[in-house]
Amino acid sequence: MKYTLIFILIVLFNIQSTAQTVVDQKGTKISVDTSKWKTVGNDIYNKNVGKVGIGTASPSAQLHTTGTVRLEGIGTNTSNTKILTTDASGNVTTRQASELLSGNIRSVSVLASDLSTSSISLVDIPDLSFIVTAGITYRFYATIPFTSSDQTNGSRWTINGPATSFLSYTSRYTFSSNSETYNYSNTYNFPNSANNNSNAAGGNLAIIQGMITPSVNGTVTVRFASELVTNNITVKKGATLEYW
């Protein structure tokens, strides 16, 4: 009896002090991992292959909390285009920011410096462009001040972009004092030619507006051309392209 009591005390001492070893009925030692955390250098990780619950005994995700979550010092990145969203159950996913833009929120691209061309072929205005995602409907409105080196030199204003399931836009621009050229199209790079006059005595203005639903991802870009290779059309700094 004396030796049995000593044996039991030894077993209990081992269990309480190490919590790693137990003895079965036959006196065989069995190693038990009672900790689900392990340190590697300065890092710590959970060895549990299942889910972790905070405030819940039945987590439904790899990390499930029923309380608040705080991310302090997370910083900013102006090149990221995705934002975090949740469903009704609180499951976190990401979406393109452009998909969530409402009619009251517009993004604006601005031309940083004057851009001139005497090309009769269409020239892109890289600053006046925006990225589109397949299946999303966008609206756009470009306001483009420009000058012509000669009143007898006309211009041409349009857009280019990826394949679409829907496209409808208008482009209108100065023809001469108190008049304008007006185009409607559902195809890119229309009209096929420039008008034959501009308001050289003062400022000229081109406006392009419409809607697009791309069928593939891509970029919508404003384009322009001169009527004559002997004269310049110059897009003025500050021209804008709004899209939403």
CATH of the domain at 235: 2.60.120
Rounded average pLDDT over 141-155? 95
pLDDT of residue 23: 58
- Does 34 score more than 70 pLDDT? no
- Does 57 score more than 60 pLDDT? yes
Task: Tell me whether residue 207 is in a domain.
Answer: yes
Please give, one letter per residue, the 3-state secondary structure of the chain: CHHHHHHHHHHHHHHHHHCCEEECCCCCEEECCCCCEEEECCEEEECCCCCEEECCCCCCCCEEECCCCCCCCCCCCCCCCEEEEECCCCCEEEEEHHHHCCCCCCEEEECCCCEEECCCCCEEEEEEEEEECCCCCEEEEEEEEEEECCCCCCEEEEEECCCEEEEEEEEEEEEECCEEEEEEECCCCCCCCCCCCCCCCCCEEEEEEEEEEECCCEEEEEEEEECCCCCCEEECCCCEEEEC
Task: Tell me whether residue 1 is in a domain.
Answer: yes
pLDDT band, residue 228 (cuts 50/70/90): very high
- Does 58 score more than 70 pLDDT? yes
Task: Tell me whether residue 4 is in a domain.
Answer: yes
Per-residue pLDDT tens digits for 8-32: 445 444 444 444 555 556 666 655 5
Does residue 226 or residue 8 have the better pLDDT? 226
Mean pLDDT (the chain) is 84
- The count of structural domains within the chain is 2
- Does 68 score more than 70 pLDDT? yes
Task: Tell me whether residue 80 is in a domain.
Answer: no
pLDDT band, residue 82 (cuts 50/70/90): confident
**Together in a domain, 144 and 236:** yes
**In terms of residue numbers, what domain contains 219?**
107-243
Percent of all residues in the chain with a pLDDT value above 90, rounded to a whole number: 53
**Together in a domain, 232 and 151:** yes
- Does 41 score more than 50 pLDDT? yes
- Does 94 score more than 90 pLDDT? no
pLDDT of residue 33: 58
Rounded average pLDDT over 179-200? 94
